Amino acid sequence: MEHSFSFLTFLAVSLSFILLLSWILKLGTRSEVTLIKPLNLPLGPWELPLIGSIHHLIGSLPHHRLRELAQKYGPLMHLKLGEVSTIVVSSPEVAKEVLKTHDAIFAQRPHLIGADIMCYGSTDISTAPYGGYWKQLKKICSQELLSPKRVHSFQSIREEKVSNLMRYIATKNGSCVNLSDKVACMTSAITARAAFGKKCKDQEEFISLVKKLVKLSKGLIVLDFFPSQKWLHLISGVKPRLEKLHRKFDIIFENIIREAVQKPGEVEVEALLNVLLNIKDHEALECPLTINNIKAVILDLFAAGGDTTSAVIEWAISEMVKNPRVMIKAQEEVREAFGSKGYTNETTLQELKFLRAVIKETLRLHPPFPLLLPRECLETCEVEGYTIPAGTRVIVNAWAIGRDPNYWDEAEKFYPERFMDCAIDYKGLNMEFIPFGGGRRMCPGILFAISSIELCLAQLLYYYNWELPNGTMENLEMTEASGSSSRRKKDLILVPISYNPF
């Protein structure tokens, strides 16, 4: 929690001082008191002045602590996080109310400082306000950018980048490999080629800036709970650093777009940037796309897609190393399917039912965004008999829902067999399993991510056996890092042992 709440003590002291000052000022004023009928809000923990319920989240990761609180106050819980009235959803039943029954009412995104600065006024697909512009972006994503046909067109890119990773690992046979770092580089390279079509001179710097953005965004959580306290934005130093980072991104974007327009060249696959530029210039849109809108969409793909894709691969390998029975079973399936060909490709991945079950089980225990992305209530409504006022922020604890013992036998156990011959999927229809969200605002890039995850895992399992550097399972670190996305706290370091199919 060192990034998310690193200045929380300072914050509490500062806000307490402001509270005292406000109280002193109020001593000299009198105002008419208006009695307001209390709202029928869901139950929640006790609050402190100004910081509300934030102190209840200290000492643990937010999704862990929120599950503990929900066990006491219920699956629909109210918290005052700073200035922000918030409800937390922690069960499939309540998730259905929010993501299905009242989906349109809860389709709004709250104003977030980081998205506003980095994504050109929140004009990306993930954080854009609900309305005509967002609906248009969603249509462009589903029909053009991230359609099955488009994702399939990137097959050669995925195969090339995954093969490069396998060749690198081959040079480290019997030695330690930082799998976290190398998988992250691979997924970033796939996203970059898909986005830009060819390697640009600024590509490496762009990827480096994305990593800085992901790291810096961890400090934004608390700031977003105090939207009116502008002094906090400055004194924390996060906002100035974001603005500086944004300027660097913008310079690179301008260079890449200029090159794409002036020297389109011949490429195997039409890049996402070119698709967006063509739509901007040649299609009659209700909400015309600007160059800044295109920058926001591309950055969203990098920040949300590459980081979370590599995290799922990391967790899958981590869980299989921790559970050798599962690792052996997955390797046997992959090696039997591909035989002695020495080559795995996407065409035959459909045969790997157990590997797909491994991926689903990984997503159940380690959803890419444990608390999904926050939503906001557009109009006052009723959920589970409680009144939810317009403007209330909504957090869905997908991590807690995926571990709900009322729906999952041995919920904390990594057991992929639970998904064999099972209709439950991650496409937002089964509320007990929503690693990518649900409803109108669910992740549009599922297929793009899963395609890379499946291919990479299949080849890691086919070509190599994996051992811990010290050979002792007790030293396998499975702690999560702080932040909005699910990452390992420590890099996954393993020893690859080449597999000989002959």
Annotated binding site for heme: 443
Q: Helix or strand or coil: residue 184?
A: helix
Q: Which of 73, 74, 65 is nearest to 93 (CA)?
A: 74
Task: Say if residue 41 is exposed, middle or buried (CB neighbours under 10 Å; 0-12, 13-18, 19+).
Answer: middle
425 Cβ contact partners less than 8 Å away, ≥ 6 residues apart: 360, 433
Assess contact for 393 and 442: CB atoms under 8 A: no
Query: Under 8 Å CB-to-CB from 292, ≥6 apart: which residues?
Result: 120, 121, 123
CB-based contacts of 83: which residues, under 8 Å, 6+ apart? 52, 225, 226, 227, 228, 229
> Where on the phi/psi map is residue 80: left (φ > 0), alpha (ψ -120 to 50), or beta?
beta
3-state SS string for 265-330: CCCCCCCHHHHHHHHHHHCCCCCCCCHHHHHHHHHHHHHHHHHHHHHHHHHHHHHHHHCHHHHHHH
What DSSP line would sit under 93-128, residue for residue? HHHHIIIIITTTTT-B----HHHHHHTTTT-STTTS
Give the pairing of strands 393-396 and 84-89: parallel
Find all residues with CB under 8 Å of 331, minimum gap 6, and list them.
Answer: 461, 462, 465, 499
424 neighbors 119 (Cβ within 8 angstroms): no
Residue 27 has a CB neighbour count (10 Å cut-off) of 7
Length of the chain: 502
* Triad 198, 202, 207: Cα angle to 5°: 90
Cα-to-chain-centroid distance, residue 444: 12
Can you tell me which residue has the tokens 């109020």?
A: 26
Question: What is d(CA 187, CA 172) in angstroms, rounded to the nearest whole number?
Answer: 20
Residue (of 71, 185, 137) closest to 177 by Cα position: 185
Single-letter residue type at 275: V
